[in-house]
Amino acid sequence: MQPGSGEAHQHVGSVHAADAEQALQNARDVYARRGEGINIWVVPSDSITASTPEDMGPFFDPGNDKAYRHPQFYKVPRGVRL
Amino acid sequence: MSQPDVFEYLLRLADDRLVLGHRVSEWCGHAPILEEDIALANIALDLIGQANLLLTAAGAAEGKGRDADALAFLRDELDYRNALIVELPKGDFGFTLTRQFLFSAHALVLTDALRSSKNTELGGLADKMHKESRYHVRHSGDWMLRIGDGTEESHQRAQAAVNELWRYTGELFMADDIERRLAAQGIAVDSSKLETPWRAQVDDVLKRAGLTVPSVAWMQRGGRQGRHTEHLGHLLAEMQTLQRQHPGASW
């Protein structure tokens, strides 16, 4: 679901459907009843390749001790307004 | 200023939607899958919302101080002006969706024409209804293809629904003097002029769904004059019971 113009789509949920058009209608009926968005993408679940819980360590842990990957050592030059 | 013709015309539009909305709401909690349960409840709420606005406008046109609640809950069967097709029991899922498609296709061409009504309030309401009708046609039309061109059983049920409902479609296109007077003033639409565009739309979907239109010798009628089937009284009894037993009760 795209919450507003220019914003990135966000996952809002899943629906059962026989094909793409029905999935789109079901998503509209289930997730867009209260003005939640302006655009819907539906993707068949078998088209999604996902990491598994076992991947947690090798995928995400190595980032934790490499603080230099974050931008906090960069000093914002004077005159640049945030 | 009292406008009896406008009152009567708005009542017809409102009652079609109120009664069908109530019928469709009977699926709430009973539809075949959760997604469709919500979809039907959405459609029912759209229709009841339309009826609410139309009844409010009708009460104003009548000029006797009746609001939407008074018109919805304190009128008897004989004073209801809906077409017969909307009061028929919900039947099976195929029947409900077939009726929805036939009705929504009519609502689509009707509200499209009413958007340019000289009654600006009605024109504005038609604009809102048109948007909702477009989705109702898309949803119910899609289901027509699925059930008409689905399994042998679904096809049989869809065809049985078309056969049963077709004799009730004619009433939607019967204009009377009230309507013709309002049409001449640019306020209403002459219903008889809607049949051709409606039929083109319906034929296209039914053909693709593998369904055939039965030949019908007599089109049922009477709802616009308050002559209803046996089913409306039961529906109203359920819908009105709270206001009848506890007059003026509010949420």
Q: What is the pLDDT of residues A36-46, one digit of tens each?
A: 999 999 999 99
pLDDT along chain A (82 residues), means of 10: 95 94 95 92 95 89 78 82 68
Evaluated on CA atoms B150, B151, B154, B155, the torsion sign reads positive
Confirm whether B161 is domain-assigned.
Answer: yes
Confirm whether B229 is domain-assigned.
Answer: yes
Chain B contacts to A (CB-CB under 8 A)? 33-36, 38-39, 42, 135, 138-139, 142, 146
- Give the domain extent around B183: 4-245
The DSSP code sequence of B132-144 is HHHHHHHHHHHHH
Binned at pLDDT 50, 70 and 90, residue B177 comes out as: very high
Nearest-angstrom CA–CA distance, B75 and B147:
37
Q: What is the pLDDT of residues B91-121, one digit of tens each?
A: 999 999 999 999 999 999 999 999 999 999 9
Nearest to B211 by CA among B101, B107, B134, B88: B101
Q: Which residue of A has its CA nearest to B137?
A: A25
Confirm whether B106 is domain-assigned.
Answer: yes
Predicted complex ipTM exceeds 0.90: no
Q: Which residues of A touch B39 (CB under 8 A)?
A: 25-26, 29
* A and B: number of Cβ contacts within 8 A: 27
Tell me the three state secondary structure of residue B230: helix
Q: Which residue of A has its CA nearest to B35?
A: A26
Q: Which residue of B has its CA nearest to A21?
A: B142
Of A21, A26, A33, which has the smallest distance from its Cβ to B35's Cβ? A26
Q: Which residues of B touch A20 (CB under 8 A)?
A: none
Domain tally, chain B: 1
Distance from CA of A67 to the nearest CA of B (A): 46
Q: Which residues of B touch A28 (CB under 8 A)?
A: 135
Distance from CA of A30 to the nearest CA of B (A): 6
Nearest-angstrom CA–CA distance, A46 and A27:
17
Confirm whether B251 is domain-assigned.
Answer: no
Confirm whether B166 is domain-assigned.
Answer: yes
Average pLDDT over residues B193-206: 98
Contact B138 A25 (CB under 8 A): yes
pLDDT at B1: 58
Contact B38 A16 (CB under 8 A): no
Q: b/e string for A9-26 if b means 16 or more Cβ within 10 A?
A: eeeeeebebeeeebbbbb
Distance from CA of B143 to the nearest CA of A (A): 9
pLDDT at A82: 64
pLDDT at B248: 85
Confirm whether B130 is domain-assigned.
Answer: yes
pLDDT at B137: 98
Confirm whether B220 is domain-assigned.
Answer: yes
Q: What is the pLDDT of residues B15-42, one digit of tens each?
A: 999 999 999 999 999 998 999 999 999 9
Confirm whether B250 is domain-assigned.
Answer: no
Nearest-angstrom CA–CA distance, A52 and A46:
15
Tokens standing for residue B96: 């409900």
Question: What torsion, rounded to 10 degrees, do the Cα atoms B93, B98, B100, B105 define?
Answer: 160
Binned at pLDDT 50, 70 and 90, residue B131 comes out as: very high
Q: CB-based contact (8 Å) between A29 and chain B?
A: yes
Q: Which residue of A has its CA nearest to B143?
A: A22
Q: Report the CATH number at residue B113.
A: 1.20.1260.10
pLDDT at B115: 97
